[in-house]
Structure 1
Amino acid sequence: MALKSTIYKAELQIADMDRHYYADHALTIARHPSETDERMMVRIAAFALFAQERLEFCKGLSDTDEPDLWQKDLTGAIERWIEVGQPDERRIAKACGRAEDVVVIAYGGRTSDIWWQGVQTRLDRLRNVTVWSLGEGVAASLGALAERTMRLQCTVQDGAAWLGSATTEPVAIDWTVLKAPANAA
């Protein structure tokens, strides 16, 4: 018998002063049985950092044809495809063909560095992909925030971001841009 996803609920308040985006989101997150608290919370952080009206969680680990998050336009075309972790370069290339913008948020410290060394030359030719690597320990700190019911606040200002709750110290979400789209300034 297959294990079922565990449902988490999050009330997320976002104050993104860099993009002038201020909103409250009621999120329902299905955590795949093989997913860790760290990965789930990195998905929530990705949602907070890229939040838009039509950004939504997808099946991700449960479906190879869907990312962790995506944003579609009103016609159903995929505007943004967001992957969390260290996806295979073929998966990223396929996503680049399906979406206007692809974002990969890698985490895991040393393992992310090794992954990046292995895929960098193949991803350099892709024009619409952005790759971020979260700072050392960020994913673990985010994982410590995980609860079945969460009330979270995310603040983004001057290129820096923090995610926390009323009962915890905010986690500084720092990242390094490993690759930016070819058309970026």
Structure 2
Amino acid sequence: MAIGATIHTFAVQLADVDRGVYEDLTLRVARHPSETDAFMLTRVLAYCLEYEDGIAFSEGVSATDEPAVYARDLTGALTAWIEVGAPDAARLHSGSLQAARVAVYTHRDPAKVAAAWAGKKIHRAGEVRLYSFDPGFIDAAIAGLERRSTMTVSVIERRLYLELNGATYESDVHEQSAA
């Protein structure tokens, strides 16, 4: 019998000073057995850092035609395609054709992630944003993960301050173009 997804619950206080976003969120995140803690935490952080009306998690690794996180407007039109990890160029190309904004959040070496896209066809590649964190930030933070976690996510001048279950971590949010 196949192992099902593990549900993680995050009680999040979000204060993104840079964008003027202040929200209290309760996120129920299904972690697929093949998904690492690092990927899941990066997915949760991407959701928080991109938070807007209409944002949602996709069905995860089983949703091959959707990104990890997306946003839709009131008409149902896709406005943001947000990938996590190291998606291939074809996914970014597809996402860029479908949504006005495409972003990738990675817990991996961003130079290696971007290098895999070099020379590949990506629609509006210069507009696709690649975000990463300081080396070791995600690895340190996953040590504090629990099935039920409380977290405070604060962003000030692209500096991320994360309190996860009483432990604190911080990192710059690095940004570069996919092109």
Provide the TM-score with structure 2 as the length reference.
0.91
Show the counterpart of 1:15: 15
Q: Mark the CA change 1:71 to 1:41 in structure 2 (over 3 Å): closer, same or farther.
A: same
Counterpart code for 2:152: Q
Partner of 2:66: 66
Residues in 2 aligned to 1:128 and 1:77: alpha-carbon distance in whole angstroms: 19
Q: Distance in 2 between matches of 1:117 and 1:165?
A: 32
Post-superposition Cα deviations, 1:73-101, rounded to whole Å, max 9, x if no partner, equal 01111111110100010011001111110
AA paired with 2:85? G
Q: Is the 8 A contact 1:151 1:166 kept in 2?
A: yes
Match of 1:145? 144
The answer (yes or no) to whether the contact 2:137–2:171 under 8 Å persists in 1 is yes
Q: Conserved in 2, the CA contact under 8 Å of 1:39 and 1:143?
A: no
Deviation at 1:60, TM superposition (A): 2.4
Aligned to 2:102: 102
Q: How many residues align?
A: 178
Cα distance in 2, alignment partners of residues 53 and 141 from structure 1 = 30
**2:2 corresponds to which letter in structure 1?**
A
| Aligned counterparts of 1:23 and 1:118: Cα–Cα separation in 2 | 36
**Alpha carbon RMSD of aligned pairs, Å?**
1.9
State percent identity of aligned pairs: 33
Distance in 1 (CA, whole Å) between partners of 2:148 and 2:84 is 22
CA distance in 2, matches of 1:177, 1:124: 19
Find the counterpart in structure 2 of residue 172 from structure 1. 170
Return the letter of the residue paired with 2:117: V
Give 1:154's aligned residue: 153
Equivalent pair of 1:145/1:164 in contact (CA under 8 Å): no
Q: Which moved more, 1:49-58 or 1:28-37?
A: 49-58
User: Residue in 2 aligned with 1:27?
Assistant: 27
Between the aligned partners of 1:130 and 1:53, the Cα distance in structure 2 is: 20
5 Å matches for 1:30-41?
30-41=30-41
Which residue type is aligned with residue 161 of structure 1? L
* Structure 2 Cα separation of the partners of residues 161 and 51 of structure 1: 14
Query: Structure 1 length as normaliser, TM-score?
Result: 0.88
Structure 1 counterpart of 2:92, one-letter code: I
